[in-house]
Amino acid sequence: MLVAHGRTLQEFKDNIRAQIQRQMQETELRATVVGTIIPTDAELEAFLAENIARYERQEEVQASHILVADEELAKEILVKLAEGAIFTELAQEHSTCPSAAEGGDLGRFGRGRMIREFEEAAFGLEVGEISEIIHTRFGYHIIKLTGRWPAHRPILDEIRDEVTADFISAEERRRFEDWYEELRDAATVEVKLLLVAAQLLYQHNPLLGLAELERIRDEGLVDDPHLGFFIGHIYEERWREVLTERGDLEAKEERTTEEEARLNELIELSAHYRITAVANYEQVLQAGRVELDEQFLQRILSLAPESVIALYSLGRFLQERGDVFGADSRFREVISIDPSFVPAIIAVGEIAFAQGFYRGAVEHFHRVLELQPGDVRTLINLGRAYIEVGELDQAQERLTDALQQDPRNPHALIGMGDLSHHRLSTAIEEADALRARDDLTAEEEARLGKLQDEIEHYGRQTIDYYQQVMEIAPTIDLQLRLGRAHLTVGSVEEAKSIFEGIVRRAPFTGEAFHALGDIYLQLGDEEAALANFRTGFDRTIYRSIALDPDQAALRLALGRKIIELAPDDVEMRFRVARVYEDHFMWSGAIRHYAAILDLDPTSIPALREIANAHLHRAEHDIAQKYLWRAIPHTQTDDEKLSIYQQIIDIERAEVGHGVPLGTDGLDARLEMAKIHIAQENIDRAQELLEKIQADDPDHRVDEVQALLAQIAPVEEVPPAPEEEGSEGQHNGSGE
């Protein structure tokens, strides 16, 4: 193929390297042009107001599920659940979904993020309710709804990190584009007269106009990425028109010969128009020159539900939006339709790697190599995955294969550096364990000497690999690796110098502040260490665990170190606890909320959050106790109502849908009714009291009946009608 294009393999490799260098140089250029961006609260508030639609939360639910391939097994599991088995335990035992490790918990999601059958079932459940068996393309699901959140418009403090990240990204883009526009020196824009003329012709004569648009596209006369979309839209409109006429003819019980002929013609036309519309839309997607739009992708899928190009593009769109589970589902759907669709297999492997499912990554990258033997990118990805699972010889084999094809490939060289660093760290760990003992045998002494040689060898090798890449394509990430390598071999001052250089050039690189904090701890300067950890925490921003797992893990590590050095910092404990919650690490979150309550037992936010964390561990009784503790410290009726509702929701999650509430839930309803009576919200109070009677007629019966009597409407007795001529009665009224 390269020969056919007049290019040698070496020219191709040189071109790839040049592209990588240009990308790296552009990254450095952008950093120089843009500079440091530290937004003020006023700027963030204005940005949030301008982009509020982006942050408004639609209705969301949280669900857990058990996914199995066999329907009979699903039925057996459903029976066990009905008999009282623990949902999370059955998910861990039987579910084939990666969420099994979390007891089947899928986290929160809104509409449009799951496949249709799953979504309809989940949103149709009440909190605590378990679904029947739901069959989808992926197997048989049993779903349990564990939470529901109404639509919500957040304020800045609720989403400060997310808004900050988006503001910085937008401001970087604006500054760079402004700078670039100045360089263009008012360059003129080509007017696409051919395209305008064709569009005008289409308005007057659709057949000729369409033919002209297709000619312009086929001959490459106009470079407009939207031309294919416009042509596809024309064919889609024609398809819909034909469907309408076809439907009218098919609805007739009797058709003439001419109508039968027309119907057959319409059947052929509808197929042709639909296929042609989809083909044009898919060309637009494959060109990759237009911004993806979910509505557009769904429109293609309404025309062709098994369009692997549209499904794959939808997966990419969801992945960029942070919906990794939804993206993974779409990619797997593509593979089920076309097992040889390599981009989807790569995407599933990359998601598995990013989520820490390294065995799954190995499996998918192997499948890519079967379809594309010797593919350098896949060899590198497979080598990285093998490093993570500890199969270092396999990793070295794949990375060596990649370097044999492209000796200066920066990603392969980085992989070899990572491999050497892994071996270096392993050797240091083993040597430290031996040095900690006093009674080494001669064999162990020999082993220690060999380990010392390995440490020196792998230390030099690691730094050498990273230095090679620095000459080809220097990046911040590579400098971080180089700094860590120097730190591992004990070159503290060299490492410190590298990390200080990074934070000067890229002040939002949290990992560099993390490393500097560790270095200052080694040097005994806790104050400087804490300052660096705090700065790193504030400047480590992630959109979601799924989308930025490394950044999320870094923030958690920084938070832990801050708390170790400043255990009474309540605000930081709140922030760290929320990071634990993002990781679904409820025990860690509970530990920090408990520490806050030790410092301030009346903290309502801590009491509510610790209750929520216990709820996620299915510890309903403990969760409710914390909420009852919060009630005496509330300041407003609305705050009380919110907590009482939280108590009811927890009880509903425990007992399930359609089952009467227990004592805590009924008590919360009664207290809510009292507040509503005081607020003269009589209808709501009556509704709550009647629900108490329906669930348990004997629950605090005297109070319930007294309150119902209190709000019962007073029946007015109409005056007796006067009888005509009853003057004596009238005079006897005393008026």
The SS3 of residue 133 is: coil
- The CA radius of gyration of the chain, in Å to the nearest whole number, is 33
The arithmetic mean of pLDDT across residues 729-734, rounded, is: 37
pLDDT tens for residues 630-659?
999 999 999 999 999 999 988 888 887 778
Kindly state the tokens that stand for 37.
């961006």
Between these two residues, 615 and 177, which has the higher pLDDT value? Answer: 615
Does 535 have pLDDT greater than 60? yes
How many helical (H) and strand (E) elements, i.e. helices and strands, does the chain have? 34, 4
Would you state the pLDDT for residue 719?
Answer: 61
List beta partners, residue 139.
136
Q: Which domains does the chain have, with CATH numbers?
A: 9-50+158-184 (no CATH), 60-149 (3.10.50.40), 193-391 (1.25.40.10)
Would you state the pLDDT for residue 296?
Answer: 84
What whole-number distance in Å separates Cα of residue 310 and Cα of residue 334?
Answer: 9
- Indicate the range of 55-69, 162-176, 721-735 predicted with least confidence: 721-735
Which stretch, 39-53, 55-69, 444-458, has highest mean pLDDT? 444-458
What whole-number distance in Å separates Cα of residue 626 and Cα of residue 529?
Answer: 36
DSSP at 551: H
The SS3 of residue 147 is: strand
pLDDT tens for residues 567-612?
999 999 999 998 888 777 888 899 999 999 999 999 999 999 999 9
Does 364 have pLDDT greater than 50? yes
Does 397 have pLDDT greater than 80? yes
Kindly state the tokens that stand for 689.
């009291």
What whole-number distance in Å separates Cα of residue 368 and Cα of residue 379?
Answer: 9
Q: Tell me the residue type at 13.
A: K
The SS3 of residue 39 is: coil
- Indicate the range of 126-140, 167-181, 704-718 predicted with least confidence: 167-181
Give the burial string for 598-614 (b: 16+ CB within 10 Å, else e).
Answer: eeeeebbebbbbbbbbb
What whole-number distance in Å separates Cα of residue 157 and Cα of residue 682?
Answer: 35
Would you state the pLDDT for residue 179?
Answer: 57
Give the burial string for 706-721 (b: 16+ CB within 10 Å, else e).
Answer: ebbeeeeeeeeeeeee
Does 724 have pLDDT greater than 80? no
pLDDT tens for residues 467-497?
999 998 889 999 999 999 999 999 999 999 9
Between these two residues, 38 and 536, which has the higher pLDDT value? Answer: 536
Does 4 have pLDDT greater than 60? no
Beta strand 134-136 with 105-110 is unpaired
What whole-number distance in Å separates Cα of residue 575 and Cα of residue 332?
Answer: 35
List beta partners, residue 61.
109, 148
The SS3 of residue 53 is: helix
How many CB atoms neighbour CB 200 within 10 A?
12
- Indicate the range of 73-77, 435-439, 538-542 predicted with least confidence: 538-542
Would you state the pLDDT for residue 527?
Answer: 96
The SS3 of residue 57 is: strand
CA distances from 126 to 28, 63, 78, 322, 670 (A): 52, 11, 17, 26, 22
Confidence category of residue 394, pLDDT binned at 50, 70, 90: very high
Confidence category of residue 185, pLDDT binned at 50, 70, 90: very low
pLDDT tens for residues 310-346?
999 999 998 888 788 889 999 999 999 999 999 999 9
> Which position has the token pair 């964390």?
613
The arithmetic mean of pLDDT across residues 58-81, rounded, is: 91
Between these two residues, 212 and 530, which has the higher pLDDT value? Answer: 530
CB-based contact 314:294 (threshold 8 Å): yes
Would you state the pLDDT for residue 590?
Answer: 94
The SS3 of residue 475 is: coil
CB-based contact 192:224 (threshold 8 Å): yes
Would you state the pLDDT for residue 171?
Answer: 79
User: Starting from the edge strand earliest in sequence, which strands make up the sheet with 139-149, in order?
Assistant: 105-110, 60-68, 139-149, 134-136
How many CB atoms neighbour CB 299 within 10 A?
16
Kindly state the tokens that stand for 544.
């979601």
List beta partners, residue 60.
110, 149
What whole-number distance in Å separates Cα of residue 343 and Cα of residue 300?
Answer: 19
What whole-number distance in Å separates Cα of residue 334 and Cα of residue 337?
Answer: 5
Say which residues have a Cβ less than 8 Å from residue 587's Cβ, sequence separation at least 6. Answer: 617
How many angstroms from the chain centroid is the CA of residue 664? 35
CA dihedral of 299, 305, 308, 310, whole degrees rounded to 10: 10
Nearest 5°: phi and psi at 6?
A: 75, 30
Average pLDDT, the chain: 85
pLDDT tens for residues 233-266?
888 888 988 889 888 888 888 889 998 899 999 9
Confidence category of residue 547, pLDDT binned at 50, 70, 90: low
Q: How many residues does the chain have?
A: 735
Nearest to 691 by CA among 676, 121, 679, 634: 676
Would you state the pLDDT for residue 689?
Answer: 94
Would you state the pLDDT for residue 19?
Answer: 45
Does 53 have pLDDT greater than 60? yes
Q: What is the pTM of this model?
A: 0.60
CA dihedral of 696, 700, 702, 705, whole degrees rounded to 10: -50
- First-to-last alpha carbon distance for the chain, in angstroms, is 114
Q: Tell me the residue type at 252.
A: K
What whole-number distance in Å separates Cα of residue 77 and Cα of residue 86?
Answer: 10
Where would I find the H helices in 2-107? 9-34, 41-50, 52-55, 71-82, 87-94
Between these two residues, 41 and 31, which has the higher pLDDT value? Answer: 41
Nearest 5°: phi and psi at 186?
A: 55, 45
Between these two residues, 243 and 219, which has the higher pLDDT value? Answer: 243
Would you state the pLDDT for residue 197?
Answer: 66
Would you state the pLDDT for residue 545?
Answer: 58
CB-based contact 230:291 (threshold 8 Å): no
Would you state the pLDDT for residue 716?
Answer: 53
The arithmetic mean of pLDDT across residues 84-110, rounded, is: 86
Would you state the pLDDT for residue 96?
Answer: 86
CA distances from 714 to 4, 683, 709, 711 (A): 95, 15, 10, 9
